[in-house]
Chains A and B, each alone.
Chain A
């Protein structure tokens, strides 16, 4: 069966520090991968999505970046965090083929920038 791992679960970082959040998927090949962010009390905002290694598409201009160095690995990074980067970050995957394929989320990383 497929599983998605996301870490760390919580993170407190000072303003201006770098960020690296990692997500890995097991049990499937060539998944679509997604990074979402949810600010406190708000809906989900799609940040990045990827359909293959090295293929990243950004939805919102910001100081965050994403990379996909391996088929089932998706990394969210920042060189310098802002206070507004605080939020709940969620990684998700879906199968590439088929519009009826659901989205599967990780347990999320709660980031607090101080």
Chain B
């Protein structure tokens, strides 16, 4: 399975943008990049996903490098409710049975 690497933690001030990096140097051409976040004592929730082009939705933006070996999740204006663990994972045809493998993620701390 293709692996991802994320920083352990990041801090941001409220109402400032947050850029969360993810490295996936062994990504294959058919792997989708998915992002999830987990608030304390809750199950993870889907944030965004993409294949090659940058993606935007109401929660965040996903910027994918041209060589697809890295991506960045962008929270445009951090709020206290964005404090969570953010997971970057790959899902592709090499993953038998369609399974999702989560790494340790990035703990985002938002300071008022």
Contacts and interface: CB of A to CB of B under 8 A. Distances in A.
B98 interface: yes
Contacts of B98: 32, 49, 51, 94, 96, 99
A25 interface: no
Given A99-B30, A105-B44, A94 B100 contact: yes
A102 interface: yes
Interface in A57-114: 57, 59, 88, 90, 92, 94, 96, 99-100, 102-108, 110
B100 A34 contact: yes
Interface stretch (B10-18, B45-53, B66-74): B45-53
Interface of A: 32, 34, 36, 42-44, 46, 49, 51, 57, 59, 88, 90, 92, 94, 96, 99-100, 102-108, 110
A108 to B, nearest CB: 5
Interface string B90-110: 011100011111111100000
A105 B100 contact: no
Interface size class of B (residues with CB under 8 A): 20 to 34
Contacts of A103: 34, 36, 44, 46, 100
Contact of B32 (A44, A49, A90, A99): A99
Q: B42, B87, B103: which has the most chain A beta carbons within 10 Å?
A: B42
A57 B102 CA distance: 17
A107 B99 contact: no
B43 interface: yes
Nearest to A48: B99
Given A100-B49, A102-B46, A107-B42, A36 B99 contact: no
B99 A102 contact: no
B100 A43 contact: no
